[in-house]
């Protein structure tokens, strides 16, 4: 079901990444060529969270962005799935300060010409001029519309020169059991891993997000780097990436390892394929209109095949049975 994010109660600044950490990232982004400080996307110049989350400044608009009403910032950043920070929807915002994002590095491994450990500066600086807004629908057990800020994943992957054996890309999230409370329990096999087929990873809709709503990503949303794959369910869009591997065989993914009957490798949004425990033909969009418990009983809408991006991505699956390859 599509995920649309809406605004809820205000969150305390103490529940956001410490301000000094964000300011260090602000200085980095300046050095990388990002414009920091100007208001973007028509957001108000101040809110309880704006003081801790720097704005990214003027950003180019991706021409394929949806025109649907976007989810308010406050709801998008307080109703999250990020099990490393807790399994309740409010836990990631509450525990956001426990995720340390500075310094940050990403290991590049596997079937490519340029493996190695790359700092966040290494990863971002060559893409500074590619920054744009993708206002995309997102899908999970609810739906949100979020203006993501980032650049195509393909532009990043090409830099490492994957070879002919690279059929898939696997991603890994940070593991830090001393600090991240969710990783102290066997809710999933840690660290969290996800994967895409190479043609999915190279598709123009697949992006690396570094921000949202014209601001840097807050920790609960997957800072400092996360994946966004808008035609798939939200758990495919892995957060806080620390490792990218080019591999020949289909890689393991966390939810498929946990419950293979319920969560397939592809996890494309498909209203015709029911989850074993519920239908996926309808979604409930979080758009700021309903608050608290009322949102749980708001009217549902029809789920769209590939989350409404069928024209762009259906060709990736022409010869596949989508009920088998779910």
pLDDT given at position 58: 62
Q: What is the pLDDT of residues 131-156, one digit of tens each?
A: 676 666 676 667 899 999 999 999 99
At CA 117, angle to CA 116 and CA 119, rounded to 5? 140
pLDDT given at position 10: 31
**Tens of pLDDT along the chain (326 residues)?**
333 322 223 333 333 334 444 344 444 444 333 333 222 222 222 223 333 566 776 666 766 678 888 899 999 999 999 999 999 999 999 999 999 999 999 999 999 999 999 999 999 988 876 667 666 667 666 789 999 999 999 999 999 999 999 999 999 999 999 999 999 999 999 999 999 999 999 999 999 999 999 899 999 999 999 999 999 999 999 999 999 999 999 999 999 999 999 999 999 999 999 888 989 999 888 888 766 555 666 788 899 999 999 999 999 999 999 999 99
Q: Over the range 158-171, which residues count as b (16 or more CB within 10 Å of their CB) and which as e?
A: ebbebeeebbbbbb
We find that the CATH architecture of domain 2-317 is: Alpha-Beta Complex (3.90)
Q: How many helices (H) and strands (E) does the chain have?
A: 8, 14
Q: Do residues 244 and 106 make contact, with C-beta atoms less than 8 angstroms apart?
A: yes
In angstroms, the CA 91 to CA 85 distance is 6
Q: Do residues 132 and 35 make contact, with C-beta atoms less than 8 angstroms apart?
A: no
pLDDT given at position 126: 86
pLDDT given at position 146: 92
Element (H, E) at 257: helix 254-258
Mapping DSSP to helix (H, G, I), strand (E, B) and coil, where does residue 174 land? coil
In angstroms, the CA 165 to CA 270 distance is 30
Q: Do residues 76 and 6 make contact, with C-beta atoms less than 8 angstroms apart?
A: yes
The model carries a pTM of 0.83
pLDDT given at position 142: 78
In angstroms, the CA 196 to CA 229 distance is 9
> Which DSSP string corresponds to 267-283?
-B--TTS-BTTB--SEE
Q: What is the pLDDT of residues 10-48, one digit of tens each?
A: 333 333 334 444 344 444 444 333 333 222 222 222 223
In angstroms, the CA 68 to CA 116 distance is 40
In angstroms, the CA 194 to CA 171 distance is 5
pLDDT given at position 5: 28
What are the domain boundaries of the chain? 2-317
In angstroms, the CA 80 to CA 88 distance is 8
Residue 92 tokens, joined: 């990631």
């Amino acid at each position: 079901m599509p995920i649309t994010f809406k605004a809820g109660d205000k969150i305390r600044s103490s529940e956001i990444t410490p301000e000094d950490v964000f300011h260090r990232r602000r200085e980095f982004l300046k050095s990388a060529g990002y414009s920091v400080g100007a208001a973007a996307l028509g957001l108000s110049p101040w809110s309880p969270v704006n003081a801790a989350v720097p704005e990214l400044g003027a950003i180019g608009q991706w021409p394929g962005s949806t025109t649907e009403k976007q989810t308010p910032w406050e709801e998008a950043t307080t109703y999250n799935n990020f099990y490393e920070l807790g399994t309740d929807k409010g836990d990631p915002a509450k525990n956001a300060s426990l995720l340390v994002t500075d310094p940050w590095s990403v290991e590049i491994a596997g079937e490519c010409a340029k493996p190695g450990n790359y700092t966040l500066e290494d990863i971002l600086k060559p893409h500074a001029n590619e920054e744009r807004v993708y206002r995309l629908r997102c899908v999970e057990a609810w739906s949100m519309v979020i203006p993501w800020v980032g650049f195509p994943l393909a532009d990043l992957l090409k830099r490492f020169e994957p070879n002919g054996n690279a059929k898939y890309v696997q991603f890994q999230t940070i593991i830090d059991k001393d600090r991240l409370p969710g990783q102290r329990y066997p809710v999933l096999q840690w660290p969290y891993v996800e994967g895409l087929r190479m043609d999915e990873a190279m598709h123009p809709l697949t992006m690396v997000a570094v921000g949202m709503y014209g601001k840097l990503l807050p920790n609960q949303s997957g800072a400092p780097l996360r994946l966004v794959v808008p035609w798939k369910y939200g758990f495919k869009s892995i957060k806080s990436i620390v490792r990218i591997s080019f591999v020949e065989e289909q890689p393991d993914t966390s939810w498929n390892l946990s419950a293979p009957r319920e969560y397939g490798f592809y996890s494309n949004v498909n209203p015709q394929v029911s989850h074993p425990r519920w239908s996926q033909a309808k979604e409930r969009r979080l758009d700021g209109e309903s608050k608290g418990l009322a949102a749980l009983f708001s009217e549902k809408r029809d789920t769209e095949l590939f989350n409404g991006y069928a024209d762009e991505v259906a060709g990736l699956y022409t010869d596949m049975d989508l009920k088998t390859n779910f």
